Amino acid sequence: MGPIGTRGVKDRVAAAFVRLVAAFVPARIHRAFRTGTGGVWGYLEAPVPAGGAVVVANHHSWWDAYLAWGLAVHHGRPSGAVMDDAQLDRFRFFTHLGAVPASRPRAAARHAAAGAWLVVFPEGGLRPAGPLGPTRPGAAAIARWAGVPVWPVAFRAVVRGGEHPELFVRGGTLLAAGSDAAAADAALAELLERLDGDLAAAADPEAPVPGYEAWWQGGGRTDERAGWVARLWGGGPGRRAGGGA
């Protein structure tokens, strides 16, 4: 077999391996939610999109990509995301999970028009936790080309009363397909501010945040798992952190 044929075999093997990795990613995310977090919690201010949509979300945590996928899975919807070209080339298996390179916005629009919840992080990259940072206008253009609404969704990963981070999702009200980038940015910024306000107002860090529904059960705290030791000398059970139902 000549060099060209050898390269063709290697390419096919590499493509098969990428597909194999992609097949295991959903199980990996489920496991991460259940063992690496204190739970995933959601609050929806309005009904979710019935069809395709461009989901604009803040990007302040490593967990955000998992939350973007989990948001759609929890509601039984197909999903996708716009990813940096270099990152997508590095993690090619995400193409089999609906990821589209940022350099192909028209392809992203077709994905949303076909019914997917297409997640866009308008900040363009991971930023420190806090208010919404400077954004790029691409999400509104994609929604306009696709003829789908823009859905602002705020994400936050915080460590409260337990040893694992708790993940929170707050979904806002849909914006019409023709909405401009400024309107989408303002809606997302306000939504993120409300989410942070909810977390700050939760007086008991070991209790669930009022109003938020448990979407995934998280891993138990070490003191809870070791509660049987305290019971040996009559101690009561440990308190349950907000980790899901």
Per the domain annotation, does 3 fall within a domain?
no
Per the domain annotation, does 10 fall within a domain?
no
Per the domain annotation, does 115 fall within a domain?
yes
Would you call 162 helix, strand, or coil by DSSP? coil
Q: How many domains does the chain have?
A: 1
Per the domain annotation, does 28 fall within a domain?
no
The number of beta carbons lying within 10 Å of the beta carbon of residue 237 is: 11
The enclosing domain of 90 has a CATH number of 3.40.1130.10
Per the domain annotation, does 131 fall within a domain?
yes
CA distance 118 to 101: 12
Dihedral, CA of residue 198, residue 199, residue 200 and residue 205, to nearest 10: 130
The pLDDT assigned to 20 comes to 81
- Write out the residue range of the structural domain in which residue 136 sits: 39-203+211-219
In this structure, are residues 242 and 41 in contact, taking their beta carbons and an 8 Å threshold?
Answer: yes
Task: List, for residues 50-71, the tens digit of each pLDDT value.
Answer: 999 999 999 999 999 999 999 9
Per the domain annotation, does 14 fall within a domain?
no
Per the domain annotation, does 215 fall within a domain?
yes
Task: List, for residues 9-42, the tens digit of each pLDDT value.
Answer: 777 887 787 788 778 888 999 999 999 999 999 9
Q: Which of 33, 55, 52 is nearest to 44 (CA)?
A: 55
Per the domain annotation, does 235 fall within a domain?
no
